[in-house]
Structure 1
Amino acid sequence: MRSFIQKSLFSLGNKVHANATTVIVTVLMLFSICCYGLQFVHIETDIVKLWVAKGGRLDEELSFLSRMQSTMNYNGSNGGVEIVRENGLGGGYQVVIQTPEYPGQNILDRDPLLKHVDTMREIANFSITLHNVSWSLSDICFKPAPPELDGMAADMSDVIERIVPCIWITPIDCFWEGAKALGPHPPIHTKDLSLLALLKSIPNKKFIQWTYFDPIEVINDIHRMFNIGSHLTFFERAGVGHGYLDRPCIDPLDPECPKMAPNYYDVCPLLNRFFNYAREHNITLEADDFSKDVYEFDLLSILDFGSKRRKRDAFLGMSEALINGTENGNESDSESGALDEIVQKDHDGRNLKERFDADCTAYRGPMMRWMSANPDKWVEFLVKSEYPTFPDYASVMSDGCPGFAKGVLHWPEDMILGGVKREGMGKKMKSAEALQSVFLVASPNDVFLRYKKEGGRTTAKMGLDQLNWSEQLAEEVIQQWQRNFTRMLYKHRANFDNEGLERRTIHPLASTSIADMLQEFCQFNYKIILVGYGLMLVYAVFTQMKNDGCLPSSQSCMGLALAGVLTVTFASVSGLGLATWFGIEFNAATTQIVPFLTLGIGVDNMFMLLHNYHDVMLLTNQHEIGILMRETGMSILCTSINNILSFLAGKPILYVSRANNLLWTILPIPALRSFCAQSSILLSFNFIAILTLYPAIISIDLRRRKAGLRDIICCVRGESREEAYSMITKPHIQVKRIIGDSLPRMISYKDMEEEPEVEPFSLHSLIRNHYVPFINRKCVKVSNFYPMFAVIKGPNIDYALQQHQIDNYRNAIASSKFVIKTKLGEPSEKYWLGMMRDWLASLQKAYDHEMELGKFNLTNGELKSNVSEDALIAHRLICSVGMEYRCEGRVGKVRLVDDMQTINYDGFFNYLTAWYNQDNMMYYVSQASFYPTPPKWSISDKDSPPLVPPAAPLAYSQIPFYLTGLSDTPTIIEMIKEIRSTCDRFVEQGLPNFPQGIAFTFWEQYLHLKSNLLTAIGIIAFAVFIVISILLFNPWAALNILVILVVMTVELAGFMGWAGVKMNPVSAVTLITAVGIGVEFTAHVVLAYLTSLGTRSERTSSAIDRVFVPVIHGALSTLLGILMLGFSEFEFVVKYFFVVMSALIVIGILNGLILLPVLLSLTGAPQEVFSLDGKTRLNLPPPLRRRDIEIEEDDEVLMMMPRNGQPFRSIVI
């Protein structure tokens, strides 16, 4: 077999030599045609498409909703196709993380928290301009839909929608200062409130701000004026309460800190004492002027809102008096004197309390600001009991923080704090190292609908082109805002010290950050590519350079080295073109890794050819290219085929369809499939080029050398013609050839017993005189948070009968230690079925109350008199059964929710419709994402029939959770296994479901990574063994190589663990390809060993002497090829490719040139060829006639050893 392959290679070399120009032109044309495919390049940057395999369980789960939407023909109740309004949360987010300014700083302190407040306010006010419209966070954030009000209250729905704040998860929600970032943005002028401005609960301010907005008081006032019906119960259940007014203040010395705050600091009783202190120390304060902030509404006097008007008049009059008195008085007429005068006199006829309050309003701010700036002076006029009370920040935040709606929004500690430290073994929080705020982003569909102008809506963006406004433009707005958000925070002033030096404490991250990174990652860095290829050219030219004086010698091969690198480069480009023809998409690996990796591997064969080319030219002048291919081709075959196989292990089967390229891999990750496919194609092109194109180029160089022309400078003749000719023209003497020997056997009469001298101080001299004796010595021979959803797969689920099973399913997932819970042990997030049950319970309570008052006819179920809206809704629901409206026999007997918390089976889907429409804000908060959505229905629609239409069976609904403690891959894998097992258990019980979230999308592959990795390594190892056994026809030798390859793989895996390179699909591919790439360091040595004579030690020495130099050159060229990966801007490339591949090369050299020779000297394959006289070199035969040489150049008499041990003569063809 080996002889047949060498014979074929010899024939190939001769044909290439005879038709060099034709071969070059033909191969270049074919490669150029492949390059044409590069115009169809598509770079994939979607992280999900790059990571999730098509057709697998994960892909089926991710595409479940879209498949349901495409297969179900759902129409709304209005008869026309309904635009489905999502739950609003599109899965996007922005994160800002604040870390300490110096090591050891406790982030749970006044200054860091106030810094976080300022950062949040900047983010909330940050805006971009796109399509001639200004967009802020409030325009794209996730916020609950406002309640749909009827009657006169409907005119205020747009203003209410603007007041409803964004939902963000932040630690400052624990404090009143959290309201500062809520806005609203842009500000709402009090005049925009129309009739709402008449309410006593609306402060006398020009703008509405959450810092002094009392939502429950405003809602109660609105309810008294317009009767908002069941919406009142919503706000009560949501727990909006007094908003932020009753939360502690981070800084009690903030003049705006509300009176409801637990640590409100009342400085008014201390004003007189402070003014005396100020007079003694020459301290002058200017009174605050609030007149510009006060909103004047003339109808107040008409509508007898006297108390508010009097309060404002008192404030205005006394503030003016105080200011004027301060400005016009002298030292004796100081602030204290002014206060005394005001308290003692009543110039305007107002009572003393109003005047005192006005004075307090004017001067409390200046006094508090002075105290905040001079804390060391407090002791001079205050006793400790009068000091302001700063909260125990750690205690306040230890149980998490509530959102603006305390009843449904609560942020556990794990979601908002990082690096928490506790006191001893207890649970009391002591400090933290990071604050984290998360801004939830609305879906493009929600933003589109939010500003789509419809009848009765006035909230459409000013200047927005409604004709062109689309969901795609909404998505563009979201992405541009997120990108600018990241850029703004990255350059934030808090990230630099006073001298402008970088000191990062604010760290931004957006859901677009990964896509942007991949987009940048996927761009070719031509500068690095050119530098990398330039270094390779310099190295290749330098290693092949031979000078004759100041000019290149005719024996130099610099031109061939240059041509070799260009050949490999062109082959790689052509391979990428063919890969594009096949539909293999480019990704980050294509642009950052493949060019350098294939270059480094591809030039190895070039160095092997050039190394033997020098020897062939010294020893023969006939059939040089054929002999070169025969003697070197076997090594090229072994290394190239195994390199290609190693990448095919990541891509065992390739299917090409008309639409796209479908791949199945042992490591089922599309990005790695593409990487492996492209690498195998490029290496195949390199293999073809090195066997056809490059030998043709060598044959042209051969003519130059025979003509005695200098290298590179071909127009200049080198040594004298006789001298040059004597170097290449030798008598034709045939000697016995060792099968597969890598050295030519056409030699001169020079005594073969004498080894040729090597140049001193050369690499070859080091090997022969020091390294080979060394390996023959006996001593050497012995010597954080993740969101997730639990998706319920319909529509073949009976939600009514399985409602408690759904509860159990949620509780089972919540029992995991990785799920964030409240202090009561409940999941941190409410879910739709529980919210719907609470709503029905509140309706039942109102219904029972009206029932006790006798407002229902228990016989026929009719109403006797007017009832509350909640009771009316309950009555409609009790009478609605499917598509039938029947009250008789149900009123007073059927309950919406019984004592076992079971929702009535008969009307479950009718109730679902009512809850979705009447409690719509809760639906948004629940993030249920119903599909199909229930039909529209409203209790206030007088024209609609009393029947509440049933909702269609839900094909898709989800339950939200937040995960924590996922600090590393093993922990995440443990979580996935635990959650998956819970989901599978309920699937077996008849509740189809699956988990969904970032952790499941990007870590699912790790579940079977180890088994897949072992399988892949086993496959490639077996393939290498079979290929080498066939090519060398020697399983023993193949086994020697396989042992070294396994050792190399184990050593590389150990190095990765030591270097902190985590095991993931990317590093797994590196391990797999290490098996094939390792053949580069072993096949040459073993082949030379097999074709040598003597004992195992003598054959080992001979093999090392022959191949050490080309193996080193090949290793260094590969290292040089991947060297540029070390200059990548992406740490991932440096760590997972440059470091690992560099380690692989070093490990390959150590094992291939140290361990393998030792192994061969101990357990190497038996000798295949030996001389009759027992010498390590064969005797010279008599000279042959030139005609015999030309007729049968390859016929050589060899002595083979049969199994019985008796020698015999054999003619090898």
Structure 2
Amino acid sequence: MSPRSTSSYCRRHDLGLLTRTSWTDARTAVRQIEKGRASGGRWSLLLRGQLQGQLVQLGRFIDRNAGKVLFVGLLVLATFCVGLKSAHLETDVHNLWVQRGGRLEREQAYVRSTLGEGAGTSSQLMIQTAPPGGDLLRRPEALLSHLDALSRATQVTVDMYELTWRLKDLCYAPSFPTFDESYVDDMLEKLLPCIIVTPLDCFWEGSKLLGPEIPAHIPILGFGVQWTDLNPQRLVGEIQKVATFGGSFPFDTIQDFMRRAGITSAYQEKPCLDPSDPRCPETAPNKRSGRAPDIGAQLTGGCYGFATKYMHWPEDLIVGGVQKNRSGHIVRAEALQSVVQLMAERDMYHYWKGHYRMAHLDWTMDKARSILEAWQRKFAEEILREDASFEYRNTTRRPIGDLHVFTATSLADVMKDFSQVSPVRVALGCLLMLWAAAARDNPWGSAILGTVGVLLAVAAVGAGLGLCALLGLPFNAATTQVLPSLALGLALDTLFLLDQAYRQGA
């Protein structure tokens, strides 16, 4: 340091000693207190003086061994940055939001220990929202469009492990008693539909979602049936009339089960959204009149599936943004929701385990999970594709709203995408910080200090994250999106203070 710089530093030091004694030299402030010339917290000043002395010694050591300290520091930073390769990104919502050691975590652990990992069901939601100021219940077109979109989405298939998987292979379906007669079990297996919670179950059109795609053959009667034309009570009565099979067919068991489940005429006595549909049954209340039903009145109180005592979909589950009149009937709705129930991976694994379709396949729970995730992604893609052409129906040209989809897999995909680090954004952020440091530091030496400081700050943040990865700490969206920006901002604040001190000492 030149004599001129030394004298300038001494003048600033003396000025600071006069105006900010405890900040500039805490030991001097303690001596002044001991002489009775000042007052203050003696113990805190002693601690500050000790820290200032240690920092002075550290600074002198770094000044004497600048090259060695720089080399070791860069080596440590580079070593910790390598730890980023072993970073584990946590995207499971349960692990992110459930409190460790809390009551909810204990309940989840109990469920897993009792039922097993991956048991239960998963819900795939399709939500239709009205346009601004619109009403989805004014005309049947909105529900008919809802039916079309849901029908196409539930018909998607995935080809995995040399097999084609449909909704029927993955969905959660109601159980039925087993019988000694194999043809009865085969018939019921084809007829029993997937459980779909939907406002369409208030109308005959809800039966179109249940299939089966190929009519289930009734060997006793010699024809096939689908839910669109199936009256379970009448079907059992017709079978009972066939005397040749009357002794072997378990009528009592089936009739008792139907009575307890509330299975009667299924969809045959529900109103049709489109009475002009040739398949609309004659038993529909509005078939002869040809008038559209009062949709709001039908949806009031919820809807019922084909088993009325077990399949009651509450009003709040299938309709949203409702307005009611004084009598409590729905007159307006801004959203409709349908829920497709799928098996969880554990249930699907046990359902297909030992099946002849799995003879060539090493069937595992991981394979079941991958099939479910692939089908959910394709289900979501199909709904989004339908939404792109959903604004108008070709027949009426009236706006009927938008479609939205939510699945467990889509949530995990969103969390995973949001948690990924974008190299382009990181590089752009570093360039902006370099520009800010260089633009602020006009002197050449100060500009070099700012540039090197920014690079060291970036390396320090990367090394800190790498150390966390080496310690086994999981990363999440906050780690990758928020923490680096916050840490770099704090580092730049310190860098600007260092630059200011460098300017004053120059």
Tell me, yes or no, whether TM beats 0.5.
yes
Indicate which of 159, 177, 182 corresponds to 2:205: 177
1:453–1:466 contact (8 Å) kept in structure 2 = no
Residue 489 (1) aligns with residue 383 (2): yes
* Cα displacement (A) at 1:172: 0.5
Q: Report the RMSD for the aligned CA atoms in angstroms.
A: 2.4
Other-structure match for 1:405: 307
2:190–2:216 contact (8 Å) kept in structure 1 = no
Other-structure match for 1:51: 97
Q: Distance in 1 between matches of 2:115 and 2:319?
A: 39
Other-structure match for 1:98: 128
* Cα displacement (A) at 1:168: 1.3
How do residues 585-596 of structure 1 correspond to structure 2 at under 5 angstroms? 585-596=474-485
* Cα displacement (A) at 1:97: 0.8
Other-structure match for 2:410: 513
Deviation digits for residues 821-857 of structure 1, max 9, x if unmatched?
xxxxxxxxxxxxxxxxxxxxxxxxxxxxxxxxxxxxx
* Cα displacement (A) at 1:503: 9.4
Other-structure match for 2:111: 65
Q: Distance in 1 between matches of 2:132 and 2:114?
A: 52
1:418–1:432 contact (8 Å) kept in structure 2 = yes
Q: Distance in 1 between matches of 2:407 and 2:272?
A: 29
1:394–1:431 contact (8 Å) kept in structure 2 = yes
Q: 1:107 is aligned with what amino acid?
A: L
How do residues 138-537 of structure 1 correspond to structure 2 at under 5 angstroms? 138-150=168-180, 153-185=181-213, 187-188=214-215, 190=217, 193=218, 195-198=219-222, 202=223, 208-222=225-239, 224=246, 226-228=248-250, 229-265=252-288, 388-423=290-325, 425-454=326-355, 460-461=356-357, 464=358, 466-492=360-386, 493-495=388-390, 505-537=402-434
Q: Distance in 1 between matches of 2:233 and 2:366?
A: 38
Deviation digits for residues 578-623 of structure 1, max 9, x if unmatched?
1112211111111111111111111211110111111112xxxxxx
Deviation digits for residues 661-682 of structure 1, max 9, x if unmatched?
xxxxxxxxxxxxxxxxxxxxxx
Q: Kindly tell me: are residues 393 and 524 of structure 1, through their superposed partners in 2, closer, same or farther at Cα, counting changes over 3 Å?
A: same
Give the SS at the match of 1:574: helix
Residue identity (%) = 33
Q: Distance in 1 between matches of 2:393 and 2:196?
A: 31
Q: Distance in 2 between matches of 1:448 and 1:412?
A: 31
How do residues 728-877 of structure 1 correspond to structure 2 at under 5 angstroms? none
1:89–1:440 contact (8 Å) kept in structure 2 = no
Give the SS at the match of 2:120: strand
Give the SS at the match of 1:585: coil
Q: Distance in 2 between matches of 1:215 and 1:529?
A: 63
Other-structure match for 1:15: 61
* Cα displacement (A) at 1:145: 2.4
Other-structure match for 2:18: none
Residue 538 (1) aligns with residue 439 (2): no
* Cα displacement (A) at 1:181: 1.3
Residue 580 (1) aligns with residue 461 (2): no
1:238–1:408 contact (8 Å) kept in structure 2 = yes
Residue 559 (1) aligns with residue 463 (2): no
* Cα displacement (A) at 1:8: 2.3
Q: Distance in 2 between matches of 1:479 and 1:144?
A: 22
Indicate which of 493, 501, 506 corresponds to 1:612: 501
Q: Distance in 2 between matches of 1:498 and 1:467?
A: 45
Q: Distance in 1 between matches of 2:134 and 2:119?
A: 37
Q: Distance in 2 between matches of 1:26 and 1:18?
A: 14
Deviation digits for residues 196-242 of structure 1, max 9, x if unmatched?
443xxx4xxxx532111222233344563633142320112112212
Deviation digits for residues 756-795 of structure 1, max 9, x if unmatched?
xxxxxxxxxxxxxxxxxxxxxxxxxxxxxxxxxxxxxxxx
Other-structure match for 1:981: none
Q: If you compute each CA radius of gyration, which structure gives the higher value, 1 or 2?
A: 1
Deviation digits for residues 1044-1072 of structure 1, max 9, x if unmatched?
xxxxxxxxxxxxxxxxxxxxxxxxxxxxx
Q: Kindly tell me: are residues 225 and 252 of structure 1, through their superposed partners in 2, closer, same or farther at Cα, counting changes over 3 Å?
A: farther
Q: Kindly tell me: are residues 525 and 16 of structure 1, through their superposed partners in 2, closer, same or farther at Cα, counting changes over 3 Å?
A: same
1:142–1:442 contact (8 Å) kept in structure 2 = yes
Deviation digits for residues 37-60 of structure 1, max 9, x if unmatched?
223211111111112233222211
Q: 2:439 is aligned with what amino acid?
A: F
* Cα displacement (A) at 1:516: 1.1
* Cα displacement (A) at 1:154: 1.9
Indicate which of 40, 47, 51 corresponds to 2:86: 40
* Cα displacement (A) at 1:510: 0.8
Q: Distance in 2 between matches of 1:540 and 1:97?
A: 49
* Cα displacement (A) at 1:102: 5.5
Other-structure match for 1:773: none
Deviation digits for residues 465-491 of structure 1, max 9, x if unmatched?
543122221111111111111122112
- Which stretches of structure 1, 4 residues or longer, exceed 6 Å deviation after superposition? none
Residue 124 (1) aligns with residue 19 (2): no
Q: Kindly tell me: are residues 222 and 63 of structure 1, through their superposed partners in 2, closer, same or farther at Cα, counting changes over 3 Å?
A: farther
1:175–1:247 contact (8 Å) kept in structure 2 = yes
Q: Distance in 2 between matches of 1:146 and 1:68?
A: 24
Q: 1:529 is aligned with what amino acid?
A: V
Structure 1 unmatched ranges of 5 or more = 71-85, 266-386, 455-459, 547-552, 618-1213
Q: Distance in 2 between matches of 1:540 and 1:171?
A: 60
Q: Kindly tell me: are residues 495 and 544 of structure 1, through their superposed partners in 2, closer, same or farther at Cα, counting changes over 3 Å?
A: farther
Higher-RCO chain (CA-CA 8 Å, sequence separation at least 6): 2
Q: 1:577 is aligned with what amino acid?
A: G
Q: Distance in 2 between matches of 1:466 and 1:143?
A: 26
Q: Distance in 2 between matches of 1:11 and 1:54?
A: 44
Structure 2 unmatched ranges of 5 or more = 1-45, 241-245
Deviation digits for residues 222-279 of structure 1, max 9, x if unmatched?
56363314232011211221221111111111111101111122xxxxxxxxxxxxxx
Q: Distance in 1 between matches of 2:110 and 2:285?
A: 49
Give the SS at the match of 2:113: helix
Q: Kindly tell me: are residues 89 and 487 of structure 1, through their superposed partners in 2, closer, same or farther at Cα, counting changes over 3 Å?
A: same
Give the SS at the match of 2:336: strand
Q: Kindly tell me: are residues 504 and 9 of structure 1, through their superposed partners in 2, closer, same or farther at Cα, counting changes over 3 Å?
A: farther
Q: Kindly tell me: are residues 137 and 42 of structure 1, through their superposed partners in 2, closer, same or farther at Cα, counting changes over 3 Å?
A: same
Q: Kindly tell me: are residues 453 and 146 of structure 1, through their superposed partners in 2, closer, same or farther at Cα, counting changes over 3 Å?
A: farther
Tell me the TM-score normalised to structure 2 length.
Answer: 0.83
2:136–2:400 contact (8 Å) kept in structure 1 = no
Q: Distance in 2 between matches of 1:4 and 1:592?
A: 39
Q: Distance in 1 between matches of 2:340 and 2:433?
A: 48
